[in-house]
Chain A
Amino acid sequence: MIEIPELAFGGLAAGTVSALALGSGLWRSRRERARLRREMTGLRHQAEQSARAGAEEAERIRQAFTAELEHLATRRMPAEASRTAHPHVPVPGPVGPEGAATEPVLAALRTAVLQERKRVDAAARAGMRGTTREIQASLYRLQDILHGLQQRYDEPELAQDLYSLDHENEQSLRRAQVAAVVCGAWVGLAREESHLVDAVTGGQARLSGYRRVKLHNHLDPGTALVSHAVEPVAIIAAELLDNALRHSSPDTSVVVNLEHVHNGVAVTVDDAGVGMAPDERAAAQRVVAGTDPIMFSDLGDPPRMGLAAIGQLTRQFDLSVDLSTPSPYGGVRAVLLVDKHLLSHIDPALRPAAASTSPSTRTGEVPRPEPLAGHAEPAEHAARAERVEHAEHAHAPGDGRPVSVDDQPTSGPDQPAPAVDDLPRRRRRQVSPDQAAMIRPSAAETAAAPARSPEETAAALGALQSATAAARDAARSEGTAPR
């Protein structure tokens, strides 16, 4: 009997325990679920928040980038484009750090604009070159006609008009030639070996104010330029003199001095004009140095071609021009240095300088011939050359006078040596047939081809090398550089 209630109690107790256990498990799981739900809500919230923040950030970056692009398109690219023409234009930097990515765009733009600018410039120069070349050729033909007329007609009134026409023609010729040279053309005229003073005086004659130029020639008579340097030196002299004349008052003169220096000959042009400010002088010096290639579009409007032409020629012909010192007269001093390898010698007795050129001041300084001809040969030779400098010889038409040349230093015995205290005197001399043959042009030309000295050969090869190097540089900088 007892068993049944015990069993019931036991069963009840077990039921209670299990119910309790179940209840607590249930309660715990509910709590866990609630925690999880809470956690999930938090996470979702967080995710939503971060998504919102991400979108905001993306929006901000998008806006910054748009602003950067707009800044690039409206400010930086135009500035960069105009900077190729005007280097002083500042290019603004990027707005924010995002702009770093736009730097290659600017670099590519810079390259493209420069390339295009060079191409357009080269095209403009080519067009100009062709035109000026034609004009120059026709002006040379006109000059030939005018010279023919001057020889044929000597009536004063007509001659006066012919002189004026010739002068006008020279000036036009100078302008056409300078334009052609700036456009990269050749000087346009092959000259023969000529006296340096002829080249400078020829340059002087191409200007309207040539009467204001005072030329002092301190060179040894016969100092000449090799043929390819004649026209460049004349052009440079003309342009330097033009600058000097243009920037000085009409009642002052422009002084030109030709002097020997250690490395060749210096042509110094001094004016008493307004002078240049240091920065102007530095800019002019850069242009005439000829180191930078000439851009047609840099020359201004109307184009200032003179200095640019000088720059072009100094680069091509290994001449040098210096404008860096002010003149003691208050204006500008320009010094053209003609290197030794561009110089040569013409016997002034056989081919004197043009009649209108200043005679050398060295004429009076030449040492008198010594009685012992064998010891003072060069001096005597020079002195002889002086004395007969302006006399013309057997080949001059209409010249019936005896020729006063004794070019052979060994012709001593039949002539009495001058007494020591005698002044050098012009004497009539008989010309022996072989001497006459020597100074006849054809014979002289065949005789005057001596073998080149090693120095001359070296100079010629050096000139060739520097010319090809200069041309290669020019071609490289011209238009078609690799992208």
Chain B
Amino acid sequence: MPTYSTRRGAYSYGHAVGILLLDAKAPFIPGDVANATSYDFPVIYKTVEGLSTSVCLNGAPEFNEKLAEAAKELAREGVKGISSDCGFMLQFQEAVADAVDIPVCMSSLLQLPFIARSLDPSQPIGVITADSTNLDEGFLTRGGVKLPPNPLIIRGMQDEPEFKTAVLEEKGSLDSDLITAETVACAEKLLAEYPTMGAILLECSMLPPYAKAVQDAVGLPVYDFISAIDYLSAGMRPRAYTGGY
């Protein structure tokens, strides 16, 4: 591909995925969707001004247009796909997908149908979310996620002290050892209640740093927000295979 054209609106090049960010004030640690070291490919971020965590979690249709505009700007920068740093951005999936011509995966929750098909239909799927008071089957359905036959067991982190104060109340610091313990305990409790559970989906973009600890504790497949973004990237940048034969 020797001839390259200037992309109008692009300031730099080579970014694989564009990620729309909540206007949130928490530390985004390695493994977080909003930490650039979490990926094997370059990502570019754009904050949606005014879209705070609580506004997004409570539902904010008035932000549809702002999300679409931000997504278009990322597309102009040349990203090959668009995602976000909040599973509740599922509510903007349609608005953003309509606005741009590249693949859009706004939420970790979009993985649910795929995860369900990979399991026996009777096996429960555990969903660990930032706030279970705002995530129910109605939210999923409204967001266009077809409910699988599997029982969905949704548990939230909203009452865990460190998660609540660091992530939801944005106290300005985050103790990742404490959140590891809180997330693992939540998963262990889920498994104790539903011993036939087939997999766990971590909805929240701030939970991937703890996915390995959860998997080590429960021994089940664990999917998270990064697995959705990696998947999106894989489709847009197929690898060349150079192994032997």
A complexed with B: no
